[in-house]
Structure 1
Amino acid sequence: MPADQFALSSDLINELLRGMRLRGVEYRRIQAGPTFGLGFTEKPGHAWFHFIAVGNAVLRMEDGTTYELSAGNAVFISHGAAHQLFSHPDAPVLDINRLDGTPLGDTVSAVDTVSAVDTGTDASPTPSTILFSGCMEFELGSIHGLGRLMPGLMLIDAGGQRYPGLVPILTTMEREVSAARVGFAGILARLADVVAAMVVRGWVECACGNASGLVAALRDPRLAGALLALHQQPGRDWTVAQLAEHCNTSRSVFADRFQVTIGMAPLRYVTELRMRLASQWLTLERLPIEEVAQRLGYTSQAAFSRAFKRITGKTPGLSRKCRR
């Protein structure tokens, strides 16, 4: 990719990732013996993340497909599908939610399935496998369209070239959980944001599995300029002609290419972008409805509320209450 095109795509991805947030993150530090089986139930609207810090495990998805994992491997299950992690196929599988965990904070717990039976001695057993597990709700903000396109399962070699710097972050998270120092839960939450952003970036950089739609537009210099302008100034009263100017093309050519690549008309995309940002600002940042309307270029709160309900099916006030 030429340098100017790379810079444009990089600026756009930077702008998109700034709006990504995680909500309701729950962490577990799990220690297991030579034989273990852990079941994770389906959680729509959430993502599962597992990092194998020590030892080995086998991942089995709902369709029966299995994947062997070793230390340094991680998995990202973006749509919250049910799955299992176990030592071998014959191991009994226990629902992770039914295992007793030791609270290490409001959102962090330690689960230890190792027992003296595993070692056959009375000595304090040493875990054969240690994994770090998280369940989270994605708040993708302006990159909501990416979530639908992401594969249900992403296998991650944390030490590989696609994810440089990921291992030190995961190691730091493991260290924070183990040490349980003051404020560690807040640090974990911020590190989790970074990990999720790195996973998304790695997927985008590798052509996103040849996905279309918004992902294709991210890599298309004929559209990326307009998208960058839109995401930087969502409250501007955009016209199709103005957006086409950012791509140095005619209004008709731009509109046709936008529709074919992203699957909707440019101004429809503008409206949906505004409403995704509005949802985030209302529910996460708790901004007043009037301020959100002004930020997004609406001349009145009533006009904003009508547009919000038309796109989301709820009023701004009801949307805020539903997310509490």
Structure 2
Amino acid sequence: MDLLSDVVAVTRTGRPRSAHVRWHAPWGQEFAAVPGSAGFQVILQGSCWLSSPHTEPVRLNAGDVVFLPRGSGHVLADSPESLVTAPACEPGDHEPYDAYASDSVDRSGDGGPVTVVLCGAYQLDPSRTHPLLLTLPDLIHLPERSDRHPELRAAVALLAAELENPRLGTDAVVPALLDTLLLYILRIWFKAQPDRGDVTGWAAALNDPSVTATLHAIHRDPSAPWTVATLAAEAGLSRAPFARRFALLIGQPPLGYLTWWRMTTAARLLRTSDAPLRAVAAQVGYTSEFAFAHAFKRAHGTAPGKYRRTG
């Protein structure tokens, strides 16, 4: 798998939830802060305003996409002055999230202008959050551009159609489309970040061909006997300049990131498979089960067997 796909696969847990909601003005809906989750709002028809305790109100128009990677609390309303008229939504507890893969929710006001929103949430595992996600702002707003991001618009259209008109296979289609939507949002945001020599961090790393090549190599084959020299060869750089550049952008040395990723991958394998410990160790680059167990306990504070049993 490539880096971005791995980030989503490792960090997301459970089933993402979404709903197709129609509001009639006047209306206001609070979305509660949900630590350990990420939320999104896509405006399919009409317009509305998004407000949160830490930002000025933002006007959203049809086609706009909003992503909240830390599940920040916020309010959607037909105008900044509208009052919240419904209980705060929390994934799995209240509408509209309970409408996942079911009929659309229709919230009636006084028959005013209609706003249709595709909303939802992803449950994340805080213990396996990739540092790439930690660099994202609290709110990502991707305004509609008719001449840009056709793949994002296509994913939104397909997801909206499945939620508005569930059919055979919808329960399988919707989670796949939600993952696709998340990947497109992340891809677009990182690509849009400034490509300057003084910029560091994951946004700069994903726009650096040398570092990106190394990251893809690690994620493609974490079991390989990587060294700084072999990773530098993947980057097309000599050893010392590569190590400096990698540490500058990623925030840790190449072998430090390699070990972190191996232990993160091992944790996922322990929780999602019945593979014996020796097989898990081999998949993340350890020929010795003892050495693997020692490294895993150092990273996660518990032995791999106990980690699996208490998962």
Which interval holds the TM-score relative to the shorter structure? 0.7 to 0.9
Q: Distance in 1 between matches of 2:188 and 2:4?
A: 12
Q: TM-score, normalised by structure 2?
A: 0.85
- Letter of the aligned partner of 1:187 in structure 2? V
Q: Percent same amino acid among aligned pairs?
A: 30
Q: Distance in 2 between matches of 1:29 and 1:82?
A: 19
* Aligned residue among 183, 195, 199 for 2:181: 195
Is the CA contact (8 Å cut-off) linking 2:281 and 2:289 kept in structure 1?
yes
* Aligned residue among 146, 162, 179 for 2:165: 179
Residue correspondence of structure 1 range 110-189 to structure 2 within 5 A: 110-114=104-108, 118-119=110-111, 128-138=114-124, 144-189=130-175
SS of 1:49's equivalent?
A: strand
Is the CA contact (8 Å cut-off) linking 1:58 and 1:86 kept in structure 2?
yes
Q: TM-score, normalised by structure 1?
A: 0.82
Corresponding residue number in structure 2 for 1:17:
4
The reply on whether 1:52 has 2:43 as its aligned counterpart is yes
Q: Distance in 2 between matches of 1:284 and 1:74?
A: 32
Q: Distance in 2 between matches of 1:160 and 1:209?
A: 24
Unaligned runs of 5+ in 1: 1-13, 120-125
Q: Distance in 2 between matches of 1:49 and 1:290?
A: 40
The reply on whether 1:273 has 2:267 as its aligned counterpart is no
Cα deviation for residue 143 of structure 1 reads 8.6
- Letter of the aligned partner of 1:152 in structure 2? D
- Letter of the aligned partner of 1:264 in structure 2? Q
- Judge which range, 206-215 or 145-154, deviates more: 206-215
For each residue in 1:103-162, what CA deviation from the matched residue of structure 2 results, as whole angstroms up to 9, or x when unmatched? 656x656433215xx13xxxxxx8711111111024799991210111111111344555
Is the CA contact (8 Å cut-off) linking 2:61 and 2:144 kept in structure 1?
no
Q: RMSD across aligned C-alpha pairs, in angstroms? A: 2.9
Cα deviation for residue 205 of structure 1 reads 1.3
Q: Distance in 2 between matches of 1:221 and 1:143?
A: 24
Cα distance change of structure 1 residues 141 and 225 upon mapping to structure 2, 3 Å threshold:
farther
Cα distance change of structure 1 residues 160 and 153 upon mapping to structure 2, 3 Å threshold:
farther
Cα distance change of structure 1 residues 282 and 100 upon mapping to structure 2, 3 Å threshold:
same
Cα distance change of structure 1 residues 289 and 35 upon mapping to structure 2, 3 Å threshold:
farther
Residue correspondence of structure 1 range 232-251 to structure 2 within 5 A: 232-251=220-239
* Aligned residue among 190, 194, 204 for 1:216: 204
- Judge which range, 194-203 or 235-244, deviates more: 235-244
Q: How many residues align?
A: 301
Cα distance change of structure 1 residues 17 and 263 upon mapping to structure 2, 3 Å threshold:
closer
Cα distance change of structure 1 residues 222 and 39 upon mapping to structure 2, 3 Å threshold:
same
SS of 1:207's equivalent?
A: coil
